[in-house]
Amino acid sequence: MMAPVVQQVHSEIPPHFLIVGKKNTLDYIAPALFRIGTFGELVVRAKGSFSIVTAVDVAEMVKRDVPGLQTLSISIGTEEIVIEGTTRRVSFIEIHLSKNRPAPALPVVETPALEAPTEVPAIQVPETAAQEPIAEIPVMPPKAKSRKKAAAKKKTVKKVARKKASA
């Protein structure tokens, strides 16, 4: 009798992608540096709240270690995953880092020339309003805090004195 053959479906993950899971942050640094050194770019991808935090930490640590590394893009979103017949929504993040590659140029938008500014009439303030005194706000004296501290010290001194007297 022959054993059934189980086919595993592997989705093609590009070699410059780093999938972050539930391992420690430092476990992803060496593979990230290898991908940057080999391919010149790195895409850190993670799903789930804990893994997203780890992915951001990995990207920041790698950016600090590799000079000239730029963040090209950061993508966030939600994916629907079917697990045992139930649909679950899972957050994800993709951080695209590249070494010495220019960031995509932003489109240049020309704005029409502005018209000459028009004069705005000045606001007339009545003389009585200008002469009214400004209300003063009472300020708490700084001694209030020191009084509380002094009272607390007196209590501790009394406790120590009682212990010595009873001993």
- DSSP assignment of 105-167 equals PPPP-PPPPPPPPPPPPPPP--HHHHHSPPPPPP---THHHHHHHHHHHHHHHHHHHHHHHH-
Q: What is the mean pLDDT of each run of 10 residues along the chain (167 residues)?
A: 51 87 93 92 93 94 92 92 90 91 59 61 61 60 59 72 73
pTM tops 0.85, yes or no: no
The helix (run of H) or strand (run of E) holding residue 63 is helix 49-65
pLDDT of residue 165: 75
Amino acid at site 25:
T
pLDDT of residue 1: 47
pLDDT of residue 64: 93
C-alpha to C-alpha distance for 43 and 92, rounded to whole angstroms? 13
